[in-house]
Amino acid sequence: MLVTCVKTFPSAADQERMGDDFYPHQAFHVTEMSVYAVIGVSFDVTSRLYGKTVLFEIADDYRRLATVPAVMFEIADGTPSKLWSGRLWEDGSFALWPSSLFSTYYHEDLSDGVKAVVDDFAKVLAAIEKEAFDLLVTEGDE
């Protein structure tokens, strides 16, 4: 799945739809008109950081795993990744992520630079990007 960034921050109307739990003092490190491979998708119902919204997991402009509101993007290619598996959380939220991202403390360990997790993320990202961009090239040949 590929998305094109159309804004670098949710608009006031977007934030209103996301609700009072959206935290406005955050940066997403994305660039307008850049295309990003979607590593995962989350449907959050009670996020204390993003409010009620759909979120994409992407590699941001610094190539770090980043959670970003979907309202900042347009779908360039909606084909879901074959690497995704689904998980329903206790609060009713749902995520489609590569299975290793569901590992306990994965996101924290990645941020802390734990080598095994950093290596795994590099492999996951390479596989997701290859799948998404190869599909785009294949579809463009038709």
What residue type is assigned to position 141 of the chain?
D
Tens digit of each residue's pLDDT (9 = 90 or more) over 61-97:
999 999 999 999 999 999 999 999 999 998 888 999 9
Tens digit of each residue's pLDDT (9 = 90 or more) over 27-52:
999 999 999 999 999 998 778 788 88
Helix (H) or strand (E) holding 133: helix 115-141
Computed over its alpha carbons, how large is the radius of gyration of the chain? Answer: 15
Model confidence, pTM: 0.90
Per DSSP bridges, beta strands 51-59 and 65-69 are antiparallel
Average pLDDT over residues 10-19: 92
Residue 141 has pLDDT above 70, yes or no: no
Across the chain, mean pLDDT equals 92
% of residues, the chain, pLDDT over 70: 94
Residue 134 has pLDDT above 70, yes or no: yes
Q: How far is CA 49 from CA 69, 101, 131, in A?
A: 10, 19, 30
Are the CB atoms for 69 and 7 separated by under 8 Å? no
In whole angstroms, what is the distance from residue 12 CA to residue 44 CA? 19
Are the CB atoms for 124 and 83 separated by under 8 Å? yes
